[in-house]
Structure 1
Amino acid sequence: MKLERTVLWAEKDLFLEDGDPAIGFLGFLRGCFCESGLQTDENLPETVRAEYAEVLHFLCSPDARRILCGKVQMEGYCRNRRKSHVPMAFGRECWGFRILNENLAWYLACTPWNDRRQFSLFVYDRMTLMTALAARVGLPERCYGVQPFMGERILIRYGEDSYELFPQYGCNATENRKYATERNREFCVTLAQVAAMENGSVYGWDTPMADVRNYDKDGHYFPMEEQKGEKKR
């Protein structure tokens, strides 16, 4: 598991107790620190409870900087992480982080100043959520591609700040591109979408490089401003 900041602006709207089931919202819990440990009020379905126990254990471990071991640890982790600020009513401070597992996406909201609710955890079905968020910007939830420079086969999932490598298939960029093209055709993914996904995983999902509108049908970067200029000629 990995505790990380959110990378999509749209993710800042996911820290809600009344989340939308249509985009995969499954449940939430809220909690605070007390002398006897964590005190939580849970509203989670049975289907996620096994993984919830693992997530809770992870958030109290050194790998997550013991963020749920106490108020001091939480404040220490959140301090200076400005990019993780989540908009909150009345301008109060809230930091938002996530854990992306294979099937579930967990979103942790930290409000150490609130003694009655110092953290909240929201859980979504990852496939449903990322498919919905990707569709809003005209992209698929996943596609295959080729790593720049090295030529290795990669699997890109929307919203991840990296990609999955398959070094066992070697660095033959031509063969790996052929494989990626065949698989993407099965997924009905266009060349423009593949290019946007490949660059989004490298340069950021909220950058022009991840905007499918900035690519032509062959997957070449062709900013919308230049496209408009071409049409006027």
Structure 2
Amino acid sequence: MTELKISTPYAEFIVTPAVQEEQKYCFTQDMYSDARGACIGHLRGYWEGISPVPYTNWWPDTFPEKTSEFKEELAHLFHGLQSSGLLADRATMNARCNRFPSAVIKTQFRKEMAFRINTEHRIYFLRCIPHKGEYNFYLYCYDRNALMEIFRREKGLPTYCFSEHKTTHQVVVINYGESGYHPCKIRGLENIPTKELVDKLNAAKGISKAQVAAMECGSLLRWDCPAADPRNYTEEGLPIRTQSSAKEER
């Protein structure tokens, strides 16, 4: 499985395995880090005995967020995670986690899993620990805009770039963090071929072909997928072939 959809009266939440570079956000960040400043707080809990109801407590953090809308979203997400099985009990958590091998946190000495949930205003990172005698889950809540800006800087992505629409072949603008594109009219340069014009516009802003390729995939797919990272492309904007991808082609 690549994702888990959770439907609630509030909204539909999509749970995906956290990519390896982002699994660190399932842990408390350094006090002076930018990520700590984007963190609203975290909910942690554990099960004791045979009761399916976990003991939980909330730890507020640096980012100020005390609105009723946030509290309502968090409550619906938590209950949705319970009904989905991820936070039902230790045994069910373990069974659900086994469906997502890519969620394993390889830096830990025991089995721990990391997941990401995006909403309109926030990003949640869930750490599942299906072991008896300790806290079994941590749900970290971050302000979406603040954390997305941190991701952008970490990956070396621009705030926007120019691209060529694959169907109309018009010049469009892609904004980091947004789905889709925005039409763009460049007056006085209509006679220049679109691809050449796009290359010139991006070069003038110091934007590489690798960054453009990553921005295109991020706007089309998801901004947290590996294809939205310029480090996975050559200088010409071509995907870097990994050993696993090479084996698949054989």
Q: Is the TM value for this pair above 0.5?
A: yes
* Structure 2 CA distance for aligned equivalents of residues 154 and 64 of structure 1: 40
Matching residue of 2:244: none
1:31 aligns with 2:45: yes
CA offsets per residue over residues 30-54 of structure 1, 9 Å max, x none? 1013427121121125725742442
Percent of paired sites with the same residue: 20
Aligned-residue Cα RMSD (Å) equals 4.0
Q: How does 1:131-210 map to 2 (within 5 A)?
A: 131-140=149-158, 148=166, 157-158=176-177, 164-165=179-180, 176=183, 178=185, 190=207, 192=209, 193-200=211-218, 202=221, 205-206=225-226, 210=230
Count of residue pairs the alignment pairs up: 201
More helix by share: 1
Secondary structure of residue in 2 paired with 1:109: strand
1:116 aligns with 2:134: yes
Secondary structure of residue in 1 paired with 2:226: coil
Q: Which residue, out of 96, 106, 114, partners 1:87? A: 106
CA gap 1:195/1:39 in 2 versus in 1, 3 angstroms: same
1:72 aligns with 2:83: no
1:11 aligns with 2:29: no
Matching residue of 1:214: 234
CA gap 1:79/1:205 in 2 versus in 1, 3 angstroms: closer
Secondary structure of residue in 2 paired with 1:98: strand
Matched residue type, 1:85: V
* Structure 2 CA distance for aligned equivalents of residues 5 and 157 of structure 1: 21
* Structure 2 CA distance for aligned equivalents of residues 178 and 64 of structure 1: 49
Matched residue type, 1:57: H
Matched residue type, 1:135: R
* Structure 2 CA distance for aligned equivalents of residues 177 and 223 of structure 1: 26
Secondary structure of residue in 1 paired with 2:65: helix
* Structure 1 CA distance for aligned equivalents of residues 117 and 55 of structure 2: 21
TM-score normalised by structure 1 residue count: 0.65
Q: CA deviation at 1:206?
A: 3.4
* Structure 2 CA distance for aligned equivalents of residues 63 and 149 of structure 1: 43
CA offsets per residue over residues 92-126 of structure 1, 9 Å max, x none? 11000011112211100000114431101112222
* Structure 1 CA distance for aligned equivalents of residues 106 and 86 of structure 2: 20
Q: CA deviation at 1:88?
A: 4.7
Matched residue type, 2:183: N
Alpha carbons 1:15, 1:109 under 8 Å: kept: yes
1:55 aligns with 2:74: yes
TM-score normalised by structure 2 residue count: 0.61
Matched residue type, 2:234: N
CA gap 1:56/1:110 in 2 versus in 1, 3 angstroms: farther
Instruction: Give unmatched runs, 5+ long, in structure 2.
Output: 1-12, 187-197, 241-250
Matched residue type, 1:214: T
* Structure 2 CA distance for aligned equivalents of residues 105 and 208 of structure 1: 17
CA offsets per residue over residues 5-42 of structure 1, 9 Å max, x none? 123x3201112124455122232221013427121121
